């Protein structure tokens, strides 16, 4: 059974301490109003870390906590304490509510930001740097899987060091599948210049969780050409409503059905929290579109 959820980033929530963030209770209420029964945690600290307080609010709005994301600088050894802080707090929050999915994302690197969407121009790590980077990801994956019983997925992200398909596949080859699976984001895969459906067909056996995101091809082309920063591109509408971009969602659905996928698929439409879009309207439109194609 495929179940559809949403995430706080669809309301512009990228960092827990951003003063522009909407109130967390508003996000829960609007997610329910838009027709979703599940939601991600968002950056740890955005929603209350008091389990009783959050459990009461989730129940009030009929929401299941799906999972949470550790979006931190795995690429920077100096940030290791911050990575582990985010990982341990997220794991505790997820297990407190019976959530299943821990998602690991290497955050945006200044070394990679100018070449998002340009695999041939992107700076590469040398062997020693890659090995240490890989080991940091593997350590957190093992922590989540073995100590907390979570399903851990790696998520490629524009402007990080797991951005392009060869890097993602190299990591998958290097890290034990028992610890690390794939949280597959359709939009980031397209942003990086690859075919999401083709990747899914090759790797469905390791995909444990899906993020549904669509890409406006005209905005993407301008962002890549102009080396636009990721959050500026979000503000320009690079992540359009589902069904209006270059991701073939009927084909995505068919791959999932053919594989017997059973679990959550979460909408993520990263946006500017002070932008012109109305997140509730977009959330409703995305749910209606997915229903129209059989989700």
pLDDT, position 267: 98
Say what the pLDDT of residue 276 is. Answer: 86
Mean pLDDT within 259-283: 95
- Report the pLDDT averaged over residues 36-48: 98
**Residue 218 bridge partners (DSSP):** none
Dihedral angle, C-alpha 102, 236, 20, 70, nearest 10 °: 10
* 46: pLDDT strictly greater than 90: yes
What integer pLDDT is reported at residue 236 of this predicted model? 92
Residue pair 5/212 in contact by the 8 Å Cβ criterion: no
SS3 category, 1: coil
3-state secondary structure of 166: helix
What tens digit of pLDDT does each residue of 102-143 get? Answer: 999 999 999 999 999 999 999 999 999 999 999 999 999 999
The band of 286, judged by pLDDT with boundaries at 50, 70 and 90, is very high
Q: What is the pLDDT of residues 89-100, one digit of tens each?
A: 999 999 999 999
Digit-coded pLDDT (tens) for 59-73: 999 999 999 999 999
pTM listed for this prediction = 0.98
In whole angstroms, give the CA distance from residue 267 to residue 214.
Answer: 9
Domain count, the chain: 1
| Averaged pLDDT score across all residues of the chain | 97
Of the pLDDT bands very low, low, confident and very high (cuts 50, 70, 90), residue 179 is very high
Please report where in the chains the tokens 């990263």 appear, as a residue: 270
CATH code for the domain in which residue 198 is found: 3.20.20.150
Reduced to 3 states, what is the DSSP secondary structure of residue 182?
strand
Residue among 147, 133, 170 nearest 87 (CA): 147
Spatial distance between the Cα atoms of 113 and 184, rounded to a whole number of angstroms: 21
Kindly state the DSSP code that residue 284 receives in the 8-state scheme.
H
Phi, psi dihedral angles at 80 (to 5 degrees): -60, -40
Mean local confidence (pLDDT), 236-253: 97
**Above pLDDT 90, what percent of the chain?**
96
* pLDDT number for residue 121: 94
Residue 195 and residue 102: Cα distance in Å, rounded? 24
Instruction: Return the pLDDT at 275.
Output: 87
How far, in Å, CA of 72 to CA of 65, rounded?
A: 21
Question: Which among 240, 228, 223, 249 is positioned nearest to 277, based on CA atoms?
Answer: 240
Give me the domain span that covers residue 176: 2-292
């Amino acid at each position: 059974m495929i179940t559809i959820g949403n995430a706080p980033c669809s309301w512009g929530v990228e960092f827990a301490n951003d003063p522009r963030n909407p109130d967390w209770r508003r996000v829960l209420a609007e997610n329910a109003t838009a027709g979703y029964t599940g939601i991600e945690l968002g950056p740890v600290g955005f929603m209350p870390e008091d389990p009783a307080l959050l459990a009461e609010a989730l129940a009030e709005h009929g929401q299941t906590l799906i999972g949470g994301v550790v979006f931190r600088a795995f690429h920077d050894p100096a940030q290791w304490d911050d990575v582990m802080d985010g990982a341990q707090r997220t794991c505790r929050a997820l297990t407190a509510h019976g959530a299943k999915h821990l998602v690991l994302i290497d955050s945006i690197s200044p070394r990679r930001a100018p070449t998002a969407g340009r695999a041939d121009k992107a700076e590469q790590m040398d062997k020693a740097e890659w090995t240490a980077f890989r080991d940091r990801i593997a350590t957190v994956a093992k922590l989540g899987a073995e100590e907390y019983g979570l399903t851990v997925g790696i998520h490629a992200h524009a402007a990080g060091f797991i951005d392009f398909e060869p890097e993602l596949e190299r990591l998958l080859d290097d890290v034990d599948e028992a610890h690390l699976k794939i949280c597959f984001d359709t939009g980031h895969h397209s942003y990086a210049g690859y075919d999401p459906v083709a990747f899914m067909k090759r790797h469905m056996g390791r995909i444990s969780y899906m993020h549904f995101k669509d890409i406006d091809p005209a905005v993407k082309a301008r962002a890549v050409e102009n080396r636009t920063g990721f959050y500026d591109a979000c503000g320009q509408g690079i992540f359009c409503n589902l069904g209006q971009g270059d991701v073939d969602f009927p084909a995505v659905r068919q791959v999932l059905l053919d594989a017997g996928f059973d679990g959550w698929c979460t909408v993520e439409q990263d946006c500017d929290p002070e932008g012109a879009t109305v997140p509730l309207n977009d959330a409703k439109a995305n749910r209606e579109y997915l229903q129209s194609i059989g989700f």
